[in-house]
Amino acid sequence: MDNLNCSEVKVCIDGGPCLKGVILHGGHGTRLRPLTHTGPKQLIPVANKPISQYVLEDLRDSGIKDIAIILGDIYPEKVKEYYGDGSRFGVNITYIYQGEPRGIAHAVGLCESFVDDEFVVYLGDNILKGGISKYVKEFSKSDLDAMILLCKVPRPELFGVAKFDEKGRLVGLIEKPKKPPSPYALTGIYFFRPAIFDVIRRLKPSWRGELEITEAIHNLLVEGYKVEHRMVSGWWKDTGTPEDILEANRLILDEMKPHINGIIEDSSSIQGRVSVGSGTIIRRGALIRGPVIIGKNSRIESDVYIGPFTSIGDNVVVKSGEIENSIIMDGCVININDRIIDSLIGPNARIMLGGESKPSGRRFIIGESSRIIL
């Protein structure tokens, strides 16, 4: 599991060249603190599943079974504990340690001895509706040196941005420009062949002290390598902030197929698309209005209201209160005469009522094992 072995089993797409997958699982996630004080941002759950698991499953469902996970220095052991050797997900996982963030291009460069020819790089905090299967097949059949996926965004200055000539051809990439040359941002999904490694070796650190992947791809273009772009269909989310994570949660729950495996007592009310895990009990008088997902072995007590776009993890107890548009992670206990909205509640947190409280809408970003008494 932990050693690089380029003779591992490979999967070929439609009889073409074999691709491997690379998931970047580093970064400090400063905009998501305090949640990232105790774990990597990519393991934060969206609709009760770690963000990077969507990435891994997307690669797997595209036919890619041989995957490297690039580990950062924020609790890398938690990543290895969760994914193991990949067998329970139907893939083979190799771990490569990057440590302190030194840029996406640096992380890609660490994979040279892992990949054989063509490969896909997928940022572990990105989610793409519809997946990458069609792009994997297209790239594997092409003679391109690189292919990037672009998405039109309202604030391109926050991303790497594509530049086009008057004929609409890709001619350059600029990282977080003050005046973007187009509204098209690079998604965190890149397709490469080995030419990228020589370019990365010649990169100099940017003003951020990192090796920038936008510069590496730009240099491929300038040096005459074959680089093309594709526009993604559907939505794409870079989950770098609490607002982004809640938006991704809404988007996924909005497409969720409901299932009820728990116990729904008489006189409780389930409205809309609601999923309830095994061992969970919804007590009489509770109102669950979907889309909502509730994990395993949780308990929603009488007169509790769980509103739309809420994800509740495993082993959660909600004794009182109202929750809407929020993510409540595993092991939490909520007992307040109040309304929680637009919140991220970390694992094993406790929010309790300590005295009289007038009902109002409260927004929390709470780290693991926190205690809040209102």
What does the block give as tokens for 97? 């340690």
Question: Read out DSSP for 114-133?
Answer: T-SSEEEEEETTEEETT-SH
CB 333 within 8 A of CB 316: yes
Question: Read out DSSP for 10-24?
Answer: --BSTTS-BEEEEEE
Q: Per residue in 214-251, pLDDT tens?
A: 899 999 989 999 999 999 888 888 887 889 899 999 99
DSSP state of 152: E
In this model, does residue 120 exceed pLDDT 60?
yes
In this model, does residue 26 exceed pLDDT 80?
no
Return the pLDDT at 7.
33
Return the pLDDT at 9.
35
Q: Exposure pattern of 146-169 as b/e (b: 16+ CB <10 Å)?
A: bbbbbbebeebeebbbbbeeeeee
Across residues 248-276, what is the average pLDDT? 93
Residue-range domains of the chain with CATH: 19-240 (3.90.550.10), 263-373 (2.160.10.10)
Return the pLDDT at 330.
95
CA 44 – CA 49 distance, rounded (Å): 8
- To the question of pTM greater than 0.85 for the whole model, the response is yes
Return the pLDDT at 10.
41
Where do runs of H (alpha helix) occur along the chain?
51-61, 76-83, 104-109, 133-141, 195-201, 213-222, 242-253
From 345, 353, 299, 301, select the one nearest 324 (Cα to Cα). Answer: 345
Return the pLDDT at 106.
93
In this model, does residue 352 exceed pLDDT 90?
no
Report the percentage of the chain scoring pLDDT > 70: 91
Residue 338 burial (CB count, 10 A): 19
Bridge partners (DSSP) listed for residue 264: 282
